[in-house]
Chain A
Amino acid sequence: MLRYVLRRLAWAIPTLIFVTFLVYIALRIGTDPVASYKRINPRATKAKIAQYIEVNGLDPNYVRGYFRWLGNFVTLDWPRSIKGSREVWPQLKDALANTIRLGVAASSVGIVIGLGLGVFAALRPGGRRDVAVNTAAFVGISIPPYVSAILFQLLFAVYWSRWFGSTLFPTSGVYPPGQLGFDLGLMLKHMVLPTFVVAIQIIAVYSRYMRSSLLDVLNSEYMRTARSKGISEARVLFRHGLRNALIPVVTIAALDVGAIVGGLIITENVFSYPGMGKYFLSAFGEGDFPLLMPWMVIIVASTLFFNLLADISYAWLDPRIRLA
């Protein structure tokens, strides 16, 4: 097991480098960093432009340029944004923190409720609860996150205040404008709507996975053996049913993180929540190469990380895989 993990980790570094190289190429072709710089700083001197090119590794030769960029990146010598020469890391750090908070909140709520609903539905397949959960999940999948985000905004911001006079849940930002310092209550209040919107997607997807996986397991022979042992029904369900049903769900879950992040990006934008999503969209819109590359590295690294996590947990949970 340990060897398997180490082997995968060893592969991770070259993969990371290779993928960021591809990203580097895509961004250079797609966003034309030099032209963007010139657009934002129309009065930049030739010297400044040359410095920008060198610091960001924008050599005409892509390979050499990439390694120059990589060198700067790894030594933490990060070039500044094209806008007003602001530092990248403080912005990125805040965006990352906000997104992680939102992601963790939405995932916890979503996964727990989603799995619970899936179990709920699978215990009586074809029954009314099953149909209800399935349909709800279906609708949840079919509504793109920004649609539900907009509808929630409409409901809670516009109409709630029209009917009740004040807004129940704020619909933008992390704090109300002008807030200084840390306030947990206000932060949580601002997080409610975006969390809910992202959680809807998660609940819809996970309830369906869990339901189908649990149904498969409940029809297995070893469930009958478990019952014939005379152990309690609860134990049969948890130790035998759920334990086996979770295996495929966990593997899909780890791979699905990308989709959750995608939903986060969209939701953040609608709610003006200053997270990774907003960071990316504004940086991308401006063609701000120095802002974009570190962001990409984080995304690539976390994607690879979750892929690895998926493989490891699959092997850990299912002993049949371990020896392969």
Chain B
Amino acid sequence: MLNPLRSEQEAFRFLIYVVVVVAVIVAVVLVARAL
């Protein structure tokens, strides 16, 4: 299981996931607001 606190490698991968997930959430919210 991914544990961002176990190694830098996993922390870096976690960062990528966070960026993607946050971008998707922001996109959904902005689209929902525009409708």
Chain A bound to chain B = no
